[in-house]
Amino acid sequence: MKYSLMALMLGMAVASQPAAATDGSQIQSFTLKNGMKILVLEDDSIPNANSYLFWKVGSRNERPGITGISHFFEHMMFNGAKKYGPKMFDRTMENSGGANNAYTSEDLTVYTNWFPTAAMETIFDLEADRIANLDINAKMVESERGVVASERTTGLENSNFRALHEQLKGIAFQAHPYRWSVIGYESDIKGWSLDDLKQYHKTYYAPNNAVMVVSGAVKFADVKRLAEQYFEPIPAQPAAEQLRTVEPAQTGERRTYVQKASVSTPNVMLGHHVPATSHADYYALDLMVSILSEGNSSRLYKNLVDQQIALEVFGYLPMSFDPNLFYLMAVASPDVTATKLEQALVAEINKLAKDGVTTQELEKAKNFRLMQFYQAMETINGKSDTIGTYEVYFGNFQRLFDAPKHYQKVTTADVQRVAQTYLKKSNRSVAVLDAKEDKDL
């Protein structure tokens, strides 16, 4: 989950001393001739470093028939290239003391490596090999389909959130590719071809479509030298076609229902369309999600959990390239119906839109963001993730250091206005999860 850890900021800090490495001047950057941008933060707090490679490709770049391919691709990036064949990426990395992972979202595919600094050249060599010369092996594709099918199944088996979320997206978006889940449809996971994969790699895994962040016990000059040696020879590609589809405005509430026999009480998820992260309302929306759902003094906890209507409440505002959803979810207490739970959620939204929030609530939300910022800055992983996320969502990591100002400027009137603008019934989608069949009374 990505709240905007980022942003928060020196300016808002009441702390007597500035935190280390929260100052933009410590981040150095350069752009290779092929268009890849690289950000470096020297930090000797532990004898390790990491690299975060952000590729601007995610499920929003897919179409029916190849849904889930971005995520599948993320798996295939570990399955062999020219110099390092199948299995050798992981074996070589672990042999030199490194570990890795990766994740895919609606907008991004991000590859993370964590390593002792002495292994940095190996990391560059491994990354360059799979970016320039991935070998999409037919046998590996088949076994990886099984892995991804298992990933999909285990998510649905163990997470009610997952089961509801993919259904809610499916009704809230009718045109935009955010309508399908990142993992994709089962039929597509079984169906995409080698050619689909090869084309996808060529289009999106171009150095001009990536941002790399390196943080840790490294020297800027070493990172630059290795990047020039290993990455610069990889040719740029024509920019991928821009996504044209804009989701038409919603004009009335939409509903869906998911039945799962083992669910003990109903779950309800609401989604309201909101603008992209780059929109000026982002900061007010981000503080609103906090006021509604963060901590036991939040409105939903106090008025739903404390009142024994819900066992749990949850709010989520994804960072997003395109207009996306503002999510609220609740799990019913025993003997509370889905209808009652939904009415309680909606009542809280309407109360916020009608009466606004207090200055104390707003101040609290700003303090939560400040705390999160410091926690992100406590580790080299938090640093790389925050810097890179800011770079891709706001176009420049330096925007991280404007964020204090933007959060600070948000007023109680702004929060009330965004509630009135976006959290209204005609803009709402509702997903209900329950054990029994959906039928007429």
Partner 1 sequence: MKIIGLVSKVALLCCSVLAITIQAAEFKLPAYEKVTLDNGLTLYLLPQHEVPLVTVHAVVKAGAIYDNKAGLSYLTAQGLKLGAGGKTKTDIEQTIDFLGASLNTGSSLEGSMVQANFMAKDSAAVLPLVKALLTQPAFDQAEFNKMQQREIAALTQAKESPRQVIDQYFHRLVFGKHPYGFAQNGEPESVKQISRNDLTAFHQKYYQPANTAIVVAGDFETVAMKKQLQQLLGDWKNTQKLPVLNLTAALTVPAESQVLVVDKNDAIETTFLIGGPGVTQSNPDYVGISVINTVLGGRFTSWLNDELRVNSGLTYGARSGFDRYSAAGLFAISSFTKTDSTKAALDLALKTYQKLWSQGLDQATLDSAKAYVKGQFPPRFETNAALAELLADMYLYGFTEDYINSFQSKVENLTLADSKRLINSYFPKDKLQLVLIGKAEAIAPLAASYGKVTQLDIKAPGFGK
Contacts to partner 1 from residues 102-141, by CB under 8 A? 102-106, 108, 110, 114-116, 119
* Residue of 31, 45, 187, 229 that binds partner 1 (CB under 8 A): 45
Residues 6+ apart with CB under 8 A from 25: none
* Residue of 26, 31, 101, 193 that binds partner 1 (CB under 8 A): 101
The dihedral region occupied by 360, where left means phi > 0, alpha psi between -120 and 50, and beta the remainder, is alpha
Report the nearest approach of partner 1 to the CB of residue 236 (Å). Answer: 26
Residues 6+ apart with CB under 8 A from 401: 9, 10, 23, 24
Question: Judged by CB under 8 A, does residue 85 bind partner 1?
Answer: no
Separation of alpha carbons 243 and 94, rounded Å: 38
User: Cβ of 190: how many Cβ atoms within 10 Å?
Assistant: 10
* Residue of 29, 61, 67, 100 that binds partner 1 (CB under 8 A): 100
Question: Judged by CB under 8 A, does residue 229 bind partner 1?
Answer: no
Nearer to partner 1, 252 or 334 (CB): 334
Report the nearest approach of partner 1 to the CB of residue 165 (Å). Answer: 7
Tokens read off for 19:
């935190």
Span near partner 1 by CB under 8 A; candidates 97-105, 239-247, 345-353, 407-415 = 97-105
Site for partner 1 in 258-277 (CB under 8 A): 260-265
Site for partner 1 in 157-176 (CB under 8 A): 157-161, 165
Site for partner 1 in 375-394 (CB under 8 A): 375, 377-381
Separation of alpha carbons 188 and 153, rounded Å: 14
Span near partner 1 by CB under 8 A; candidates 45-53, 185-193, 222-230, 276-284 = 45-53
* Residue of 61, 167, 208, 333 that binds partner 1 (CB under 8 A): 333
Angle between helices 338-355 and 412-422 (to 10 degrees): 130
- In the numeric block, the tokens 């009610």 are attached to 160
Report the nearest approach of partner 1 to the CB of residue 89 (Å). Answer: 10
Question: Judged by CB under 8 A, does residue 243 bind partner 1?
Answer: no
Nearer to partner 1, 17 or 242 (CB): 17
Angle between helices 338-355 and 282-293 (to 10 degrees): 130
Residue 299: closest CA among 336, 339, 348: 348
Nearer to partner 1, 103 or 248 (CB): 103
Report the nearest approach of partner 1 to the CB of residue 230 (Å). Answer: 20
Burial class of 191 by CB neighbour count within 10 A (0 to 12, 13 to 18, 19+)? middle
Nearer to partner 1, 227 or 336 (CB): 336
Size of residue set near partner 1 by CB under 8 A: 100
- In the numeric block, the tokens 């971005």 are attached to 70
Report the nearest approach of partner 1 to the CB of residue 433 (Å). Answer: 10
Angle between helices 88-95 and 120-133 (to 10 degrees): 170
* Residue of 187, 193, 308, 339 that binds partner 1 (CB under 8 A): 308
* Residue of 11, 46, 239, 255 that binds partner 1 (CB under 8 A): 46
Q: Which helix (H) or strand (E) holds 155?
A: helix 138-158
Question: Judged by CB under 8 A, does residue 187 bind partner 1?
Answer: no
Question: Judged by CB under 8 A, does residue 185 bind partner 1?
Answer: no
Residues 6+ apart with CB under 8 A from 125: 83, 230
